[in-house]
Amino acid sequence: MATEVHPSAHHDAHSHEMLAHHFDNMEQQREASALGMWVFLVTEIMFFGGLFLAYTLYRGKYPEAFEIASNHLDWRLGGFNTVVLIVSSLTMALAVWSAQVGKTARTQLLFLGLTALLGATFLGVKAYEYHEKYVDRLIPIRGFFRWGSELPANVSEDKVQMFYFIYFSMTGLHALHMVIGLGLIAYIMYWAWRGRFTPEYHGPVEIFGLYWHFVDIVWIFLFPLLYLLGAHYGGAHH
Amino acid sequence: MSEHIVSRKIYFNVFGALMVLTVLTVVAANFDFGRMNDVIAMAIAVTKATLVVLFFMHVRYSSRLTWVVVVSGFFWLAIMFLFTLSDYVTRKESIILSR
């Protein structure tokens, strides 16, 4: 296999070194990879969809318990993380853009690095929140979970616990996606640093971007559903 | 068919819209609209998600085939919700929507 590519061959879509033999040209290859990523994201929609459905059913069953439990979450931290993720989606979009228009590896790394930094910030805030819940004994484990304050007569502790079970399942699965995302972005950054991504070849940056934006979308729904319930009761968090 | 490159201006506009909608959803949650609180929150979330899918994820500029895959994903999600909920809400002793 030839390791040296003649400079004039570089702009010929039919002989790019990154073109897999089963594609006609770079454009077809790029489109196929984006389409493949979307097929994967459809399975992700169903994966998270099951949890959103569980949320809907239990919320319908225990509306007061969910409002009381939700009020204990700090919407300011959830809101801060929402902003962090939206900014990270912007920097991610700009990372893809910088590869598309042929900006230097340095510029690509700047946007990818900012995205990674914001992702890590999100996880840091999330870890702080989880620790708070641990201190407040709100991790829904049998024998550990304890709701400290008084509850109305029709709201039992296990109904409140159900909210926390769903809260940890959904935010935990989301956080796991963020952790995997940080691993993937390190890989993308390595190849950006090596100067791999050009206007002809940037499929990996683009499909990683699709993944990152998808994880952002999940949070866009989680934030109001988990943090903002019953905020109109005065938002009394302790 | 060559790749459509979305301009930075569009990205910044979408970003601005997402931030405004985030503030809006927090503000709306602090008013008691009864059942409408959920409707408002979900309408805002769906709008935000649509903006992300169309512009940040480039679907607005993608091939028909990509459109079909994306729409089918949300279509199957809708089937899962509609069929499940139609069961829960029509049972004699409904376990949902009863307090």
Q: What is the pLDDT of residues A180-192, one digit of tens each?
A: 999 999 999 999 9
Task: Give the residue with greater pLDDT, A88 vs A7.
Answer: A88
Q: What is the pLDDT of residues A144-176, one digit of tens each?
A: 999 988 899 889 999 999 999 999 999 999 999
Tokens of A150: 């008084």
Alpha helices in chain A (DSSP H): 26-61, 63-72, 75-100, 105-135, 157-193, 203-222
Inform me whether the pLDDT recorded for B6 exceeds 70: yes
- A34 interface with B at CB cutoff 8 Å: yes
- Which of A3-7, A64-68, B1-5 is least confident? A3-7
Winning range, highest mean pLDDT, from A48-52, A59-63, A150-154: A48-52
Q: What is the mean pLDDT of chain A?
A: 91
Q: What is the pLDDT of residues B9-38, one digit of tens each?
A: 999 999 999 999 999 999 999 888 888 999
Percentage of chain A beyond pLDDT 90 is: 81
Whole-number pLDDT of residue A184: 98
Whole-number pLDDT of residue B76: 96
Task: Give the residue with greater pLDDT, A171 vs B98.
Answer: A171
State the average pLDDT over residues A114-124.
98
Give just the sign of the alpha carbon dihedral B83, B32, A55, B51.
positive
* Residues in CB range of A212: below 8 A, 6 or more apart: A88, A89, A92, A115, A119, A181, A185
- Band of the pLDDT at B55, cuts 50, 70, 90? very high
Please answer whether residues A126 and A81 qualify as being in contact, where contact means their C-beta atoms are separated by less than 8 angstroms.
yes
- Band of the pLDDT at A14, cuts 50, 70, 90? low
C-beta atoms of A56 and B5 within 8 A: no
In the three-class reduction of DSSP (H, G, I as helix; E, B as strand; rest coil), residue B24 is classed as helix
Whole-number pLDDT of residue A92: 98
How far away is chain B from the Cα of A108, in angstroms, using its nearest Cα? 14
Letter for the amino acid at A86? I
- Band of the pLDDT at A8, cuts 50, 70, 90? very low
Q: What is the pLDDT of residues A26-40, one digit of tens each?
A: 989 999 999 999 999
Model confidence, pTM: 0.91
Task: Find the closest chain B residue to A217 by CA distance.
Answer: B49
Inform me whether the pLDDT recorded for A90 exceeds 70: yes
How far away is chain A from the Cα of B41, in angstroms, using its nearest Cα? 6
DSSP code at position B4: P
> Using CA atoms, how far apart are residues A229 and A233, in angstroms rounded to an integer?
9
Please answer whether residues A199 and A101 qualify as being in contact, where contact means their C-beta atoms are separated by less than 8 angstroms.
yes
C-beta atoms of A94 and B11 within 8 A: yes
Inform me whether the pLDDT recorded for A238 exceeds 50: no
Of A209, A197, A34, A100, the closest CA to residue B56 belongs to A209
Whole-number pLDDT of residue A230: 73
Whole-number pLDDT of residue B96: 58
Q: What is the pLDDT of residues A185-214, one digit of tens each?
A: 999 999 999 999 999 999 999 999 999 999
- A77 interface with B at CB cutoff 8 Å: no
C-beta atoms of A57 and B81 within 8 A: no
Task: Give the residue with greater pLDDT, A229 vs A55.
Answer: A55
C-beta atoms of A83 and B19 within 8 A: yes
Inform me whether the pLDDT recorded for A234 exceeds 70: no
Whole-number pLDDT of residue B89: 84
Percentage of chain A beyond pLDDT 70 is: 91
Inform me whether the pLDDT recorded for B95 exceeds 80: no
Give just the sign of the alpha carbon dihedral A97, A179, A40, A186.
positive
> Using CA atoms, how far apart are residues A158 and A165, in angstroms rounded to an integer?
10
